[in-house]
């Protein structure tokens, strides 16, 4: 081991670093987000964690990026091929494995994590013995949170071919909490798409669901798990979901779906549709999958609250007055718009990504004469079912609020994942 080389820390990767020398000097390279330089940090971290799964192209790129970065970091040391082939043996990047939520050592299956957000799906699947071998998330702040907890930088925009090319050929489960965009449903084209006369590509063009379907078509995992808002079922008088379902069935996957409420697992009313599918070519539709039954436990909002929250989360007199006046104005009009002052022995409304703006949807009472307060970012994470050891402070409060509001309810996803994995591993495969 080269004693002069020292461990590279996660903290060495801020939002941008100077790494490339040009005739004009050093170039600022963005490490996170859509502007990141050739996904280089994603390539490096996926190489470190998943060398046995990644493509030869990724290996070559990882060596190139590692050499470039290490030569910048250690200019007086020759970076040999041996160092690039096994940097962990050289004592490098060990910090990328000293993380709160590592992959299980003896994994039972592999999965990919699309539209990964802050990592809720990954927590759920790892709890079932799954190893994540590819992740994708375009938001730079969510990427930071994800990397802090898993030691892996997600790739960027999954709609781009230069991102899809990094997906390993074979994996067992595709997970995707794909964003709910307006679905533009076109007429069925006669043009061939992905080998099908009336393929899904034409029917869902311009939607993120298309990208999920395309990846399913290319890689044919044993199973998939999709999550979306409840309204997906009723959007466009049911036509949107009809096309999604028919697309998945056209790809020869059996479909199981159910609208479930997060309140059965956390003290928050949060209805989402769960869509689980299994490859008919392997299982012939004979799998016996059932969604977990809700046991309606008593969960209280006070169970997730801090004992001594920072006073900065208490609403100002001006904001509190505004919210009260706003609620009164709409009450007079006969509608229910306004703030949500929670019963501490009850549950909250649905946490949204806009919570950072005023916190009005979920306000915590603090007693007579004291203005209510918004939840802290940590309390929001608890409301989504994240454990306290989950790192959320690598980003600002605003970004933490956004990430939690866009996240999945981890215990709910975990419960469904348990049933999916049990079904996948225990059902006979016909190949």
Instruction: Mark whether 242 and 288 lie in a shared domain.
Output: yes
301, part of any domain: no
Cα 225 from Cα 412, distance rounded (Å)? 13
CA atoms of 197 and 325, how far apart (whole Å): 58
Structure tokens at 2: 């080269």
57-61, 203-207, 383-387: range with lowest mean pLDDT = 203-207
pLDDT of 84 over the 50 cut: yes
Q: What is the mean pLDDT of residues 292-301?
A: 83
Q: For the chain, give the percent of residues with pLDDT over 70.
A: 86
| Least confident span in 56-65, 70-79, 205-214, 339-348 | 205-214
Residue 176 located in a structural domain: yes
Q: 257 and 149 in one domain?
A: yes
CA 95 – CA 7 distance, rounded (Å): 7
Residues 47 and 84 in one domain: yes
Instruction: Return the pLDDT at 290.
Output: 96
Residue 334 clears pLDDT 70, i.e. is over it:
no
Six-digit token pair at 389?
């050891």
* DSSP at 11: G
In 264-361, the DSSP E strands lie at 271-279
Greater pLDDT, 152 or 13: 152
The residues near 320 (Cβ < 8 Å, ≥ 6 apart) are 371, 372
In sequence order, which residues have a C-beta less than 8 Å from that of residue 422 and are 6 or more positions away? none
| Closest to 178 in 3D by CA, of 410, 406, 422 | 406
Structural domain containing residue 44: 10-97
- Start-to-end CA distance of the chain, whole Å, equals 46
| One domain for residues 177 and 235 | yes
Q: Is 180 a catalytic residue?
A: yes
232-248 pLDDT, tens digit per residue, is 888 778 888 898 999 99
Q: What is the rounded average pLDDT of the residues 269-291? A: 95
What residues contact residue 338 under an 8 Å CB cut-off, 6+ apart?
323, 326, 327, 328, 330, 331, 360
Alpha-carbon dihedral sign for residues 176, 181, 184, 185: positive
Same domain, 245 and 194: yes
Considering the domain architecture, whether residues 59 and 115 belong to the same structural domain is answered as: no
Question: What is the average per-residue pLDDT within 285-310?
Answer: 91
- For residue range 91-134, list pLDDT tens digits in order: 888 888 999 999 998 999 999 999 999 999 999 999 999 999 99
Q: Which pLDDT score is estimated for 189?
A: 31
Q: Kindly state the tokens that stand for 111.
A: 């999965």
Q: Does some domain include residue 348?
A: no
Q: Are residues 214 and 255 in the same domain?
A: yes
Report, as an integer, the average pLDDT of 367-383. Answer: 96
User: Of the candidates 97, 132, 154, which is a domain's last residue?
Assistant: 97
CB atoms closer than 10 angstroms to residue 246: 13
Q: According to the per-residue pLDDT averaged within each range, which of 242-246, 296-300, 412-416 is highest?
A: 412-416
Same domain membership, residue 158 and residue 248: yes
Task: With respect to residue 123, please indicate whether it lies within any of the assigned structural domains.
Answer: yes
How many domains does the structure of the chain reveal?
Answer: 3
Q: What is the pLDDT of residues 171-201, one digit of tens each?
A: 999 999 987 644 323 222 323 334 443 333 4
Confidence of residue 75 (pLDDT cuts 50, 70, 90): confident
Lowest mean pLDDT among 154-163, 323-332, 342-351, 418-427: 323-332
- Specify if 3 maps to a domain: no
Residue 393 lies in a domain: yes
3-state secondary structure of 26: strand
Catalytic entry in 132, 180, 380, 404: 180
Q: What percent of the chain has pLDDT over 90?
A: 63
**What local confidence, expressed as pLDDT, does residue 70 receive?**
86
Q: Which two tokens stand for residue 41?
A: 């940090």
Helices and strands counted in the chain (H then E):
15, 10
Same domain, yes or no: 156 and 280 = yes
| Token couple for 53 | 């799964």
103 domain residue, yes or no: no
Mean confidence (pLDDT) of the chain: 86
Give the residue from 97, 124, 143 where a domain finishes.
97
* Cα–Cα distance measured from residue 240 to residue 207, given in angstroms and rounded to the nearest whole number: 11
Query: Would you state the torsion angle of the CA atoms of residues 229, 232, 234, 236, taken in this order, to the nearest 10 degrees?
Result: 140
User: In this predicted structure, which of 193-197, 290-294, 383-387 has the lowest mean pLDDT?
Assistant: 193-197
Instruction: State whether 133 and 242 are in the same domain.
Output: yes
Structure-model confidence comparison of residues 421 and 328, the more confident one: 421
In the block, tokens 């008919």 appear at: 280
- On whether both 274 and 310 belong to a single domain, the answer is no
User: Which CATH number is 381's domain given?
Assistant: 3.90.120.10
C-alpha to C-alpha distance for 116 and 299, rounded to whole angstroms: 27
- Output the domain CATH number for residue 278: 3.40.50.150
Q: How far apart are CA 174 and CA 217, in angstroms?
A: 11
Would the pTM of this model clear 0.85, i.e. be above it? yes
Compute, in degrees rounded to 10, the torsion defined by CA atoms 100, 271, 125, 167.
Answer: -100
CB 428 within 8 A of CB 285: no
Instruction: Note whether residue 22 is domain-resident.
Output: yes
* DSSP labels, 198-265: T-HHHHSTTSHHHHHHHHHHHH--SEEEEEEEGGGTTGGGGHHHHHHHHHHHHTTEEEEEEEEEGGGT
- Of the candidates 51, 71, 97, which is a domain's last residue? 97
- Residue 202 pLDDT level (bands cut at 50, 70, 90): very low
């Amino acid at each position: 081991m080269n004693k002069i080389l020292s461990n590279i820390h996660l903290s060495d990767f801020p939002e941008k670093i100077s790494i490339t020398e040009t005739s004009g000097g050093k170039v600022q390279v963005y490490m996170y987000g859509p502007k990141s330089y050739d996904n280089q940090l994603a390539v490096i971290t996926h190489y470190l964690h998943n060398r046995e799964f990644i493509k030869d192209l990724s290996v070559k790129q990882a060596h190139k990026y590692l050499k470039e970065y290490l030569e910048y970091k250690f200019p007086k040391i020759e970076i040999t091929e041996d160092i690039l082939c096994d940097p962990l043996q050289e004592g490098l990047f060990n910090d990328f494995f000293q993380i709160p939520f590592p992959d299980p050592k003896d994994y039972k299956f592999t999965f990919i994590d699309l539209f990964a957000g802050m990592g809720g799906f990954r927590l759920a699947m790892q709890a079932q013995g799954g190893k994540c071998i590819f992740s994708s998330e375009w938001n730079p702040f969510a990427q930071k949170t994800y990397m802090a907890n898993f030691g892996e930088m997600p790739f960027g925009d999954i709609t781009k071919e230069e991102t899809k090319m990094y997906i390993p050929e074979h994996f067992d489960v595709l997970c995707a909490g794909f964003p709910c965009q307006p679905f533009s449903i076109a007429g069925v084209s006669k043009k061939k798409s992905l080998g099908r006369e009336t393929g899904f590509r034409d029917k869902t063009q311009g939607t993120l669901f298309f990208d999920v379907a395309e990846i399913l078509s290319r890689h044919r995992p044993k199973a998939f798990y999709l999550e979306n808002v409840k309204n997906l079922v009723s959007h466009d008088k049911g036509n949107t979901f009809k096309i999604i379902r028919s697309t998945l069935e056209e790809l020869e996957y059996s479909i199981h779906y159910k609208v479930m409420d997060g309140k059965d697992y956390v003290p928050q009313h949060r209805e989402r549709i769960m869509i689980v599918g299994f490859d008919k070519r392997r299982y012939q539709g004979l799998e016996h999958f059932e969604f977990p039954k809700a046991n309606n436990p008593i969960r209280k909002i006070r169970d997730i609250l801090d004992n001594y929250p920072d006073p900065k989360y208490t609403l100002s007199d001006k904001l509190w007055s505004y919210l009260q006046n706003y609620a009164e104005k709409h009450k007079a009009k006969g509608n229910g718009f306004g703030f949500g002052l929670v019963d501490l022995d009850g549950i909250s409304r649905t946490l949204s990504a806009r919570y950072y703006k005023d916190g009005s949807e979920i306000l915590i009472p603090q007693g007579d004469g004291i203005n209510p307060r918004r939840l802290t970012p940590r309390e929001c994470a608890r409301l989504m079912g994240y454990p306290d050891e989950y790192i959320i402070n690598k980003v600002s409060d605003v970004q933490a609020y956004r990430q939690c509001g866009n996240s999945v309810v981890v215990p709910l996803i975990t419960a469904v994942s348990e049933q999916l994995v049990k079904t996948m591993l225990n059902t006979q495969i016909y190949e």
